[in-house]
A and B are shown apart, each in its own frame.
Chain A
Amino acid sequence: MSWVLAILLLLCIAALAALGMAYAQQARRLREHRDNDHHRQQQLRQRLASESARRNELEALLSSMAEGVVAVDLDGALLNLNRAGAKLMRIDRDAALGKPYQQVLRHTGVQQLLGRTLQEGSLAQDELTWALPGDSVDRPLILQAQTAPLHDGEGGRIGALLVVHDVTQVRRLESVRRDFVANVSHEVKTPVAAIKAAVETLLDDHTNAMPRDDAERFMRIIARQAERLNAIVEDLLALARIEQAPDGGPLHMPVAEVRPVLEAAAETCAANAEAKQITLQLDADATLCARMTPSMIEQAVTNLIDNAIKYSPERTVVSVRVRRDQADVVIEVTDQGRGIEAEHLDRIFERFYRTDRARSRALGGTGLGLSIVKHIADAHGGRVGVESRAGHGSTFRLYLVAAEPDAGQPDADTPAAA
């Protein structure tokens, strides 16, 4: 009987062992499976992370570009618009995405470029004047716009890309330079032509038949025009000198009282003012000081007062005031003259810029006066400003860096704080 029991026991043990082995195997397989899964998950996570990093990278790349970039799909709906583009064209980025470009880019030039590229798949470019309703008509943005077809990985066309570049400043500088060259030539040519004509007339008089009076008249023309040429050249040289001045900045300039400088400038202009019976009012606090080269500031203020007198009718008042405005000393020259139209205000500090050529020249201006003022202000780390209404007179302001009277003279090694 016992052997039967023994066999049964053995069988039981064998079955248990087999079960155990099967279980262990199963467990191992499960573990492997889990590990595998884990591994795959990790891989997926990594890939996702790298994918989003790449997208972020692209996004960062796009958004830090200075050029505006707009991508549209074949139906013309906005796929992407970078930050520069939104800012440049003043578009609300979040509201714009997904909308047709006709709704977002309300500009015929841009619409034509995009339309052509979407239809023909060709490159296109143009220079556009970009203005939104409500913008001043005097200062539009000038944009260089290019469109190119957008392709996917397989080379199929999926839309169009628009890249815009702000060239307003470049075009403006170009026009300033062009005007400058044209103006210098013109300004110099006029007196030279007059001198040439007078000299030729005098030379042609072989027999000395010309009455003394006439000859003297021609000589006077020559003298006057030479004087004028001299004034222009001197002004141009003054400008060049200021521009070339070593820029140690205002901190390296001596501290000086403002009032004596204004008094000297007013004195220089007194004769001109008297001739037109214009009252020159000077209102300056004697304690105000600024970091400046007095001779340069005197020239700037003289130019401003001179201008004020030139463009004021007789028997009016030109007032010169100086006040402290936080870190600035502000010199103000106010007249009751004809004023300046809004469209000129931006440009009057440019060389040779004139609101009315004929009148300005008749008054003996070289067209450089205000430009010199601006450059002097720049050299002092200051700035100029103008406020004017046509028919109501103008106020020119010169801002300088204020200083305390006892701040002492600057030292090259330890510049005193203003």
Chain B
Amino acid sequence: MSVFLERQIDRLKNQVLQLGTLCEENVRDAVTAVLRRDVELARKVIENDKQIDLDEVELEEECLHTLALNQPVAFDLRYVVAVLKINNDLERIGDHAKNIAEQAIALADEPELDQLPYDLRTMVKHVTEMVHNALDALVSLDTDQARGVRKQDNEVDRINAEMYDAVIAAMRRDPHRMEQLVHFMGISKQLERIADHACNIAKDVLYMAEGEILRHMRLRKGQAAEKNA
């Protein structure tokens, strides 16, 4: 690998990490804003999302430059393509964090709930951990860590699935709090989507390391079987 390409890939790595860090913090801050009814923090998250959008464009351009100027092959090519896709996922994560922050602002206007309808703290803990670990896996090319992220997603999915029943029960108990509860339902959905994006990142890392596309594996296997039959 040419020295130039090596440096360029290091640059991409640092840039994607920087973007990832900002996304991770935004998710945490957005949920903190919900929990603490902190409108100022929520505004900061929304402001930071603009930076995420700008960084995303910059990183994409950097990736395209690398592809055009260095024409990487094999692993390097997979790396640049993976970063290109991860970039996309990160930007979406940023958008979800922004949505949560907007809900935090709306919630701060409503009376506070006595009790959260579901375990938001544990959920955000899992989700930020997943984003962090997925990026760690990208840097260290640790396939075990990437697989761990996918496993953790099951936990988030479980909390999200249980959330529906809990929120509906809370709505029945206390119809006056309908508005807040709808917001909390939305927050859970957003977090679940963020976890999915973290999973996508993990899958891209696995693709990069092992060269196999893992997304929609079951569907594609089914189609292949049909074709053979």
Contacts and interface: CB of A to CB of B under 8 A. Distances in A.
Interface of A: 76, 100, 102-103, 106-108, 111, 131-138, 341-343, 390-391
Given A137-B28, A137-B32, A106 B17 contact: yes
A138 B116 CA distance: 15
B18 interface: yes
Contacts, number: 60
Nearest to A135: B125
Given A133-B132, A390-B114, 6 more contacts: A102-B17, A106-B132, A108-B18, A108-B25, A134-B125, A390-B115
Contacts of B129: 133-134
A111 B31 CA distance: 22
A137 B121 contact: yes
A102 to B, nearest CB: 4
Contacts of A343: 35
A138 B25 contact: no
Interface of B: 10, 13-15, 17-18, 20-22, 24-25, 28, 31-32, 35, 114-115, 121, 124-125, 128-133, 135, 139
Given A106-B132, A134-B125, A137-B28, A341 B115 contact: yes
Nearest to B129: A133
A102 B59 CA distance: 15
Given A133-B125, A137-B32, A391-B115, A111 B131 contact: no
Nearest to A115: B18
B35 A102 contact: no
A390 B114 CA distance: 9
A102 B18 contact: yes
Nearest to B41: A129
Given A133-B125, A341-B115, A108 B131 contact: no
Nearest to A136: B121
Given A102-B14, A131-B28, A137 B21 contact: no
Contacts of A132: 132
Given A133-B125, A134-B129, A106 B21 contact: yes
Contacts of A341: 115
14 contacts: A100-B14, A103-B17, A106-B17, A106-B20, A106-B21, A108-B21, A111-B21, A133-B28, A133-B128, A133-B132, A134-B125, A135-B125, A137-B124, A341-B115
A135 B27 CA distance: 13
Given A76-B14, A103-B139, A390-B115, A134 B128 contact: yes
A92 to B, nearest CB: 12
Given A106-B24, A133-B125, A111 B35 contact: no
A132 B135 CA distance: 14
Contacts of A131: 28
Nearest to A107: B21
Nearest to A391: B115
B209 to A, nearest CB: 17
A134 B115 CA distance: 22
Contacts of B15: 102
A76 B125 CA distance: 29
Nearest to B131: A133
B86 to A, nearest CB: 15
B113 to A, nearest CB: 10
Nearest to B127: A133
Nearest to B135: A106
Nearest to A111: B18
Nearest to A100: B14
Nearest to B115: A390
Given A133-B128, A134-B128, A137-B124, A107 B25 contact: yes
Find the residue from A106, A138, A341, A390 having the highest chain B CB count within 10 A: A106
Contacts of A102: 13-15, 17-18, 21
Nearest to A355: B114
B65 to A, nearest CB: 19
A343 B37 CA distance: 13
Nearest to B31: A137
B35 A137 contact: yes
Contacts of A133: 24, 28, 125, 128-133
Nearest to B126: A134
* Top 4 closest pairs, chain A to chain B, by CB: A133-B132, A133-B128, A133-B129, A102-B14
B112 to A, nearest CB: 9
Contacts of B133: 133
Nearest to A341: B115
Contacts of A136: 121, 125
Contacts of B132: 106, 132-133
A103 B20 CA distance: 11
A134 B24 CA distance: 11
B221 to A, nearest CB: 33
Nearest to A338: B114
A347 to B, nearest CB: 13
A79 B14 CA distance: 17
B21 to A, nearest CB: 5
Nearest to A112: B18
Contacts of B130: 133
Find the residue from B10, B20, B21 having the highest chain A CB count within 10 A: B21
